[in-house]
């Protein structure tokens, strides 16, 4: 029989702390990361990408993805206390990172940049969207097994 999800007060506080850190990554994004596309996508209507340093941009995206991934993996572990789930999520985070960063690089260096594709690929790199997908998926899996 599988263990049920049982969160103590201390675990809930730790999860809340990690969520606050995820929010702080977003709040201080301008100070922490090189990303000229932040202002570009906020100012709708522009059709030409701003000038940027590709290496710094990819490095900033990678750093932000790493921070969000570590915090998300911490939350996933605290919720499920299952090393198998943590290992699978870690592998998925690495695989998705490699695919997304490759697609991002191809799109941003193309002659005709597809802004919508660039927007959504970048969104998956800079936001902890996989956490939003993984938590309910693994919760459902645990419920079905019980």
The boundaries of the domain holding residue 98 are 9-35+50-145
81: left (phi over 0), alpha (psi -120 to 50) or beta: left
In this prediction the pTM is 0.91
Q: Domain for residue 14, yes or no? A: yes
The string of DSSP codes covering 26-58 is: HHTHHHH---THHHHHHSTT--SPPP--HHHHH
Residue 40 in domain: no
From CA 49, how far away is CA 45, in angstroms rounded? 11
pLDDT at 43: 84
For residue 140, being part of any structural domain is answered with: yes
Domain count, the chain: 1
Residue 1 lies in a domain: no
Query: Given a cut of 60, is residue 21 above it in pLDDT?
Result: yes
> Is residue 121 domain-resident?
yes
If you average pLDDT over every residue of the chain, what do you get? 93
In a domain, 82, yes or no: yes
């Amino acid at each position: 029989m599988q263990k049920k999800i049982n969160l103590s007060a201390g675990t809930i506080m730790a999860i809340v702390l990690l969520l606050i850190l995820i929010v702080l990554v977003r709040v201080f994004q301008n100070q922490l990361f090189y990303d000229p596309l932040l202002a570009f996508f906020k100012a709708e209507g522009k059709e030409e990408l701003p000038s940027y340093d590709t290496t710094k941009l990819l490095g900033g995206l990678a750093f932000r993805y790493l921070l969000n991934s570590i915090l998300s993996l911490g939350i996933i572990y605290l919720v499920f206390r299952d090393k198998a789930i943590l290992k699978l999520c870690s592998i998925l985070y690495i695989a998705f990172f490699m695919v997304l960063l490759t697609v991002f690089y191809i799109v941003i260096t193309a002659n005709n940049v597809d802004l919508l594709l660039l927007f959504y690929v970048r969104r998956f790199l800079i936001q902890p969207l996989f956490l939003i997908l993984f938590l309910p998926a693994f919760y459902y899996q645990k419920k079905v097994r019980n």
